[in-house]
């Protein structure tokens, strides 16, 4: 059986996922497209899905009999509405991060999915599918012993003028928030944020860099440097310090050179290249589960926890280094 997919939001990632489903992965076809900017849907249809129908109304796409599962790839503030509609239609739904732009919104999705009685939502936290992070998780289970500390960094070469200080949390740190919690299998209890001297490359309305310190229920202390004007590359670092040893996220593959008395290795500049394979793996996982009428991978609960944690980190940005508590309700049985 070929799974029929409807894609809502056909900008950068929506087009790339459509290409992935129709040209890279097996078992599914994109049969329906929607975008508030119809020209984007037409471009996506022309380039990646000539047989797909374009819908002017996303809700009509969700309900359409020729659509078995939904991809939500529109702007963040629209996700909640579409994910809730997919759940109401009983259709598996892959939602790009964020699940919702508020913790309350994410909670409404968690509640709707619980009421539906089965997993229908996968959140696009693709780093869990990155072979480097998967190997790191194995090392935590086998080599490092119980984790004590994590040192991480998320560095981008530069950001635009519209990137403001809270976006360092909601758009950038959000990936560490999810993947570190998954690596440690632990929940956060508090967040602190420290601002070193500001980089002269950061624009007027952005405090950059910043260091976020998260503490987990198990007592692990995590420091994440977020530096979005580092200039030199897109660089993701992660080191777990455990009772018995240390494990580091591998560097992306690159040719090592010896020349002019320098031992060199290139550093990526574009975030799209860093986790390129993990996008394939996450969608393959979604399609496999969706064919069974359910969802796999990062859950709506993970999306909710990420939203609560991000809100605490943003509050901590204004708390002058004081800890902000991260309070979570008990994990519902559906997500055990």
Footprint of ligand NAD (CB under 6 A): 8-14, 34-37, 40, 58, 73-76, 78, 96-97, 124, 126
Kindly tell me which of 107 and 154 has the beta carbon lying closer to ligand NAD: 154
- Report, in Å, the least distance between residue 58 CB and ligand NAD: 5
Dihedral, CA of residue 192, residue 198, residue 201 and residue 206, to nearest 10: 50
Instruction: Write down the residue that tokens 């709707």 correspond to.
Output: 112
Closer CB to ligand NAD, residue 242 or residue 311? Answer: 311
Output the smallest distance, CB 72 to ligand NAD, in A: 8
Give the residue among 188, 182, 244, 249 at the shortest CA–CA distance from 221: 188
> 44 φ, ψ to 5°?
-65, -45
| CB nearer ligand NAD, residue 9 or residue 157 | 9
> Minimum distance from CB of 245 to ligand NAD (Å)?
30
Q: Report d(CA 32, CA 25) in Å as an integer.
A: 17
Look at residues 87, 168, 188, 180 and name the one whose alpha carbon lies nearest to residue 125. 180
CB of 14 to ligand NAD, least distance (A): 6
C-beta of residue 241 within 8 angstroms of C-beta of residue 139: no
Nearest CA among 113, 114, 30 for reference residue 73: 30
Residue 263 CB, shortest distance to ligand NAD, in Å, is: 31
For 142, the token pair is 């086998």
| Least separation in angstroms between CB 26 and ligand NAD | 22
Q: Which residues have C-beta within 8 Å of that of residue 133, sequence separation ≥ 6? A: 127, 179, 183, 238, 249
Q: Rounded to the nearest whole angstrom, what is the least distance from the CB of residue 248 to ligand NAD in the complex?
A: 22
Nearer to ligand NAD (CB atom), residue 177 or residue 247? 177
Shortest distance, position 336 Cβ to ligand NAD, whole Å: 25
- Nearer to ligand NAD among residue 22 and residue 34 (C-beta): 34
Q: How far is CA 23 from CA 17, 18, 28, in A?
A: 10, 8, 10
Q: At a CB cut-off of 8 Å and minimum separation 6, what does 18 contact? A: 7, 10, 30, 33, 44, 48, 49, 52
| Pick from 275, 251, 333, 257: nearest CA to 299 | 333
3-state secondary structure of 110: helix
Do residues 187 and 217 lie in contact, with contact meaning Cβ atoms separated by under 8 Å?
yes
Nearer to ligand NAD, 74 or 216 (CB): 74
Give whichever of 20 and 97 is closer to ligand NAD, judged by the CB atom: 97
Residue number, 242 or 302, with CB nearest to ligand NAD: 302
Q: Which residue is nearest to ligand NAD (CB)?
A: 11
- DSSP state string for 246-286: EEEPPPPP---EEETTEEE------HHHHTHHHHHHHHHHH
Q: Whole-number minimum distance, CB 38 to ligand NAD, in Å?
A: 9
Contact between 154 and 226 (Cβ < 8 Å): yes
By beta-carbon proximity to ligand NAD, the closer residue of 40 and 156 is 40
């Amino acid at each position: 059986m070929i799974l029929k997919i409807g894609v809502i939001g056909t900008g950068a990632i929506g087009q790339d996922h459509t290409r992935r489903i129709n040209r890279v992965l097996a078992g599914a076809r994109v049969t329906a497209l929607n975008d508030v900017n119809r020209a984007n849907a037409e471009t996506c249809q022309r380039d990646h899905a000539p047989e797909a129908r374009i819908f002017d109304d996303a809700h009509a796409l969700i309900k359409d009999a020729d659509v078995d599962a939904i991809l939500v790839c529109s702007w963040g503030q629209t996700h909640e509405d579409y994910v809730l509609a997919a759940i109401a239609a009983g259709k598996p739904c892959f939602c790009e991060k964020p699940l919702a732009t508020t913790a309350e919104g994410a909670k409404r999705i968690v509640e709707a999915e619980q009421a539906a009685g089965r997993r229908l939502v996968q959140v696009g936290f693709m780093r869990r599918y990155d072979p480097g992070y998967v190997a790191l998780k194995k090392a935590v289970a086998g080599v490092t012993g119980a984790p004590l500390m994590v040192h991480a960094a998320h560095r981008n070469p530069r950001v635009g003028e519209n990137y403001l200080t809270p976006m360092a949390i909601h758009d950038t740190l959000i990936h560490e928030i999810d993947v570190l919690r998954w690596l440690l299998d632990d929940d956060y209890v508090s967040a602190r944020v420290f601002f070193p001297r500001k980089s002269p490359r950061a624009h007027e309305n952005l405090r950059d860099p910043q260091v976020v310190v998260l503490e987990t229920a198990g007592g692990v202390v995590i420091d994440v440097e977020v530096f979005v004007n580092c200039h030199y590359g897109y660089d993701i670092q992660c080191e777990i310090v455990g009772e018995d040893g240390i494990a580091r996220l591998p560097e992306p593959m690159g040719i090592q050179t010896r020349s002019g008395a320098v031992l060199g290795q290139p550093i990526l500049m574009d975030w799209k290249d860093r986790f390129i394979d993990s996008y394939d793996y996450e969608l393959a996982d979604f399609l496999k589960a969706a064919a069974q009428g359910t969802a796999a991978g990062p859950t709506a609960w993970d999306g909710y926890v990420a939203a609560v944690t991000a809100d605490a980190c943003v509050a901590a940005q204004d708390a002058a280094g004081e800890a902000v508590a991260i309070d979570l309700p008990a994990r519902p049985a559906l997500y055990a």
